[in-house]
Each structure stands twice: as C-alpha cells, then as structure tokens.
Amino acid sequence: MPQAQTPQDQKDKSRLKITEIFHSLQGEARNIGLPTVFIRLTGCPLRCGYCDTAYAFSGGEWMEIESILDEIKQYNCSHITVTGGEPLAQKNCLNLLNQLCDSGYDVSLETSGALLVDKVDGRVVKIIDVKTPASGEVSKNKFENFVLLNENDQLKFVICDEADYLWSKQLIAEKQLEHRCEILFSPSHEQLDAVTLADWILKDQLNVRFQIQLHKYLWGDKPGV
C-alpha cells in the first residue's frame, strides 16, 4: 500500500525558493512596457555567458505559494512573469503557474528551453530563450519543445555576434519556426551593437521582432528592475 503523506510532504509541494518578487515594467517580449510583477525563482542548471541574473543561482528564501499570491496582490497588477534562474528547475513551479492562472492573472513564463515545457499550463505564455552558440550552452537546447508551442508563445534568441545571428537564421528556416510562434531577436547587452543587429534583420528581411532590454536602458543592469 502507498504510504500516507506526512505534513512535511504536503508542505514541500506548496513552497518554492524565491530570489525576489518585484514590480517593474516588462523589459522584453510582447508585453514590453507594461507594468508587471516578476517572481524570480532561485536556481539554474545552466551557465550562459550572457547571463545577467547569476545572483539567482543560489540563496533565496522558501515561500509558500499562498504567501506568494498574497504578496503580489499589493501591486494591483494583472501581468505576472515567472522567471529565474530557470524556474522549471523547481518542480513546484508548475503548481505556482496553475494557481496564478486560476487567480485570473495574465501569466508568462521565461524559461531556457533546456527543460521540457509539456506540463506547463496551457494558459501560460511560454517565452523560451533559445541558446545560441556564444551562450556556451547550445547543447542544452531541447528542440522538441518547439512542437509544444502555440501562436501565443514566443522564442527569444539573444544574439552575441554574427555567428550567432547566422546560426539563429538557419535554425528558424530548418525548423520552420516562423510559422510556429512569434520570434524575438535581442542583441546581447553591451556585447553586440543594437543597430548592427537591426541592420542585419532588415537586410535579410527576417520576419522577427527586434527588441532591446528596456529595463536596462531605464535603470541599468541591476536586480529588482
């Protein structure tokens, strides 16, 4: 017979390790510029060369999902982004996403694409950061995630150099991603000139959305923005 669940078992299913919860303007993707509450989960199995949230690799504080929901209410904000680190590295992230959607929020998930998104609530907008060669983690891409996306989801490519750009352009063509969902190209902050990337996109007539990280232009490269 299966063992009865203990109170500790129940507790472990309802909590997550949180690096920070903050209210800001969405700096990327389709909702850029919209007031958004960010829930940043702790931990990540990747070490991308352009990572700007290494402070979320460790530390953090355990929070019950009920407490998370209570905290975000203070901001009176309908848009919620669950991010990391890699949020899906914590199994209870799926439960958090479900409960956020049940609470009526417009929910997006920022994920590396190194873990499958097949169990993510269908109401959540999935934003997958496809790892380019210069990230140092290109081997971690799970391309099988592509067939799990719908037209409301987004694929983000952080472009560090021309080799990244050419690789990304080829992958889009090979996997026919243009017909899968919206595609975002971002210049790696302070690594690739934004105008250069914009010129490449226009020259090749790519059907992608160019974006820069709005929050970094407003407040700089720091936590909590």
Q: What is the pLDDT of residues 141-189, one digit of tens each?
A: 999 999 999 999 999 999 999 999 999 999 999 999 999 999 999 999 8
Torsion of CA 170, 172, 174, 178, to 10 degrees: -150
**Residue 98 scores a pLDDT above 60:** yes
DSSP per residue, 118-155: TTS-TTSEEEEEE--GGGT-GGG--GGGGGG--TT-EE
The residue whose two tokens read 């934003």 is 127
Q: Please compute, for residue 19, the number of CA atoms within 13 A of its CA located in the half-sphere on the CB side.
A: 22
Residue 190 has a pLDDT of 82
Residue 221 has a pLDDT of 73
Residue 127 has a pLDDT of 97
Q: Break the chain into its structural domains and give their ranges.
A: 7-219
- In angstroms, how far is CA 81 from the centroid of its own chain? 8
Q: Which residues does 7 contact at the CB level (< 8 Å), separation at least 6?
A: none
Of the candidates 74, 81, 70, the one whose C-alpha atom is nearest the C-alpha of residue 36 is 81
Residue 1 has a pLDDT of 42
**Residue 213 scores a pLDDT above 90:** no
Q: Could you report the per-residue pLDDT of 20-42, keeping only the tens digit for each?
A: 999 999 988 889 999 999 999 99
Q: Which CATH architecture has domain 7-219?
A: Alpha-Beta Barrel (3.20)
